[in-house]
Amino acid sequence: MKKVLVTVMALTLSMSIMTSCKEAADKAKAASEEASETLEEAGEDLKDATNDAVDAVKNAGDEAMEMGEQVADSIKKAGEEALDKAEEVGEDTKEITQKAIDSLKM
């Protein structure tokens, strides 16, 4: 009878341990799947953030080029205006010089 009781207790203990191990394995599997999903989501978020950063850099580059073109246009316009003024001053100087020469001839 003692042998039967010890055997039943040993089987009960073995079943209990096996059940605990199975539950632990199931929990570990669930945690592993959850970690995998979390890593996948983090990877997608990182990819989205990288794409956003690339777009921002591209937009900044486009804006910088546009601003550079505007600056170049402004410099060109200022240069043209300076040349026009220089031509006017040259013409005025020529007229004044000619008047001075004419007044000396009289």
Residue range 21-32, pLDDT digits in tens: 888 888 899 999
Residue type, 8: V
Six token digits for residue 23: 């539950």
Report CA-CA distances (Å) from 60 to 4, 56, 99.
Answer: 83, 6, 58
In tens, the pLDDT along 59-102 reads 999 999 999 999 999 999 999 999 999 999 999 898 888 888 88
Residue 37 is part of which domain span? 1-106
Into how many domains does the chain fold? 1
DSSP string, 37-82: HHHHHHHHHHHHHHHHHHHHHHHHHHHHHHHHHHHHHHHHHHHHHH
Give the largest CA-CA distance in the chain: 155
